[in-house]
Structure 1
Amino acid sequence: MPIARPESRLYRLIAKIVRPTMFSMCRYEWSGSENLPTDGGFIAAANHVTELDALTFVHYLFDQGVEPRVLAKSSLFTAPVVGTVLRGTNMIPVDRGSAAAARSLQRAGEELGGGACVAIFPEGTLTRDPDCWPMEPKTGLARIALTTRLPVVPIAQWGAADVLPRYGKLPRPFPRKRVQVKGGPAVDLSDLYDRPQDAATLREAMNRVMDAITALLAELRDEQAPEHRFDLRKHPDYEVKKMSYPPVERP
């Protein structure tokens, strides 16, 4: 499948720079591209281990002919360089923990209605699970999916932390690291469309999405996923302790 051809000149320019850089650091193993819709908008949802996997996530989609619009923290859009890039490539700002968050979801819905792919990390931040499994997610994705009724494609990725360790500042680009990315079949949420979007419905939708992502990740890691997802709400002091965990090393 050919790579995406965005209308944005800045997007195309950045892709010309970033793609070779990523290929120089990552020995990609991509699979599951047949599960990406080709005839309309959809939501791509992935696990989040390190800051670099935002790029591996987008790279996978871009090289399958998809132009992803990523939900990113609104504060990044005012940064001198990063903000220019995010605005120029039509990414979507997210105002976390405020009434403005509804506008972010509305913008994402509009992008999907126009046939775009909105790329989302459902956890909202790097996983705090000590073994890097997906943790309990936010519910923003569920609201978008149940309102637009468009497909949610789960995507698992593993290996980017070998290039840039979790919470790391300096990448380790050489030698090239094995990075796996796999897309799965769209998650069936159709029975939830006509239900009230209350906490129970949103949680059910998110459980299905996260279960699908976790199952794909278990295949990539060739390991058994934990029975229960890590829940940051039950560990309010974990933010202080998170730095005590070393980056994950893979053979």
Structure 2
Amino acid sequence: MTDADHQARSPRREPVFRGLEIIANTLVRAQNLDLRYAGLDNIPSAGGAVLAVNHTSYVDFVPAALGLYRAGRRARFMIKSEVMDVGIMRFLVNHTRTITVDRSQGADAYRAAVASLRNGEMVVVYPEATISRSFELKEFKTGAVRMAADAGVPVVPAIVWGAHRQWTKGGTRAMGRTGIPVSVRYGAPVTVDVDADAATERLRETMTGLLHQVQDEYGSHPVGEFWVPARLGGSAPTPAQAAVIETEEAARKAEARARKAAQRAEKGRR
């Protein structure tokens, strides 16, 4: 796509969103990231669609969103509602129509996502819900498939590989001028049906194939590196080991939330 083509297709409104796109592109240049895109023609040029992305990094949303930008699209990301506690994040969420997810009231976020899809927008969903410590695909939640079926739109599978070398759980942070290669591949849109469990499993199988394809094309995966899956000779935990770590982590977080709730209740009684 030429610059002229991109400018003709790029959305022009939403100044805050446009500002974020400029900042993201500037950061990518400052870090000298080697962004590699494939399958941009699989991104629908118009109309609603769910973009299902694997989740290995705190920053994998950036290359995924910049790929949409190159294709002349924008998307509404679904993120944890906790970000609303931070003033600048609250401003950005409100001015980019980001969909916040309160786990205790997930139905509200689901309805908002379906409404956005029916309005012709793209919505980005991480079917794994949380970062995969093994860098393999975890089990998928059914939300991405269910909202696509309810809205009558396709699911576009996408794989981001390499962003976890920048910043992930348990890894070494490398957010400087590293020149790290980051590959993004968008698969062909998938039409889903009302059998959410079966459709979710098919989506996971499709994304597993895409993940392996991207890894094969990526280049070297040095033996023993933290960011390389155990399957490829790296020191990342296996999916089974990662599941144990995540279970223990979830228990600690639940205990912390319970303590905070108890502290708030105690203050309320005083």
Of residues 149-158 and 168-177 in structure 1, the stretch that sits farther from structure 2 once superposed is 168-177
- Is the CA contact 2:35–2:63 (under 8 Å) kept in the aligned structure 1? no
- Is the CA contact 1:24–1:176 (under 8 Å) kept in the aligned structure 2? no
AA of the residue aligned to 2:14:
S
Aligned with 1:52 (options 43, 54, 59):
59
Give the Cα separation in 2 of the matches to 1:135 and 1:181: 19
Give the Cα separation in 2 of the matches to 1:238 and 1:145: 28
Q: What residue in structure 1 maps to residue 11 of structure 2?
A: 5
Secondary structure of the residue aligned to 2:140 is: coil
Give the Cα separation in 1 of the matches to 2:47 and 2:230: 32
Pair 1:74-2:81 in alignment: yes
Matches within 5 A, 1:1-251: 1=1, 2=6, 4-25=10-31, 26-96=33-103, 98=104, 100-128=105-133, 130=134, 132-168=135-171, 170-189=173-192, 192-193=193-194, 201-222=195-216, 230=239, 235=243, 238-240=246-248
1:229-248: CA deviations, max 9, x gaps?
9489x946634379xxxxxx
Give the Cα separation in 2 of the matches to 1:209 and 1:6: 32
**Alpha-carbon deviation of 1:120?**
0.9
AA of the residue aligned to 1:210:
R
- Is the CA contact 1:6–1:67 (under 8 Å) kept in the aligned structure 2? no
AA of the residue aligned to 2:95:
G
AA of the residue aligned to 1:220:
V
Superposition CA RMSD, Å? 2.6
Of the two, which has the highest radius of gyration?
A: 2
- Is the CA contact 1:33–1:183 (under 8 Å) kept in the aligned structure 2? yes
Give the Cα separation in 2 of the matches to 1:135 and 1:53: 16
**How has the CA–CA distance of structure 1 residues 202 and 80 changed in structure 2, closer, same or farther, with 3 Å as cutoff?**
same
**Alpha-carbon deviation of 1:70?**
0.2
Secondary structure of the residue aligned to 1:119 is: strand
Using the size of structure 2 for normalisation, the TM-score is 0.76
Identity of aligned residues (%): 26
Give the Cα separation in 2 of the matches to 1:202 and 1:158: 27
1:139-161: CA deviations, max 9, x gaps?
21122011112010000110111
Q: State how many pairs are aligned.
A: 226
Give the Cα separation in 1 of the matches to 2:244 and 2:40: 38
Identify, as 1 or 2, the structure richer in helix: 2
Structure 2 unaligned runs (5+)?
Answer: 218-228, 232-237, 251-270
Give the Cα separation in 2 of the matches to 1:241 and 1:103: 27
**How has the CA–CA distance of structure 1 residues 186 and 88 changed in structure 2, closer, same or farther, with 3 Å as cutoff?**
same
Using the size of structure 1 for normalisation, the TM-score is 0.81
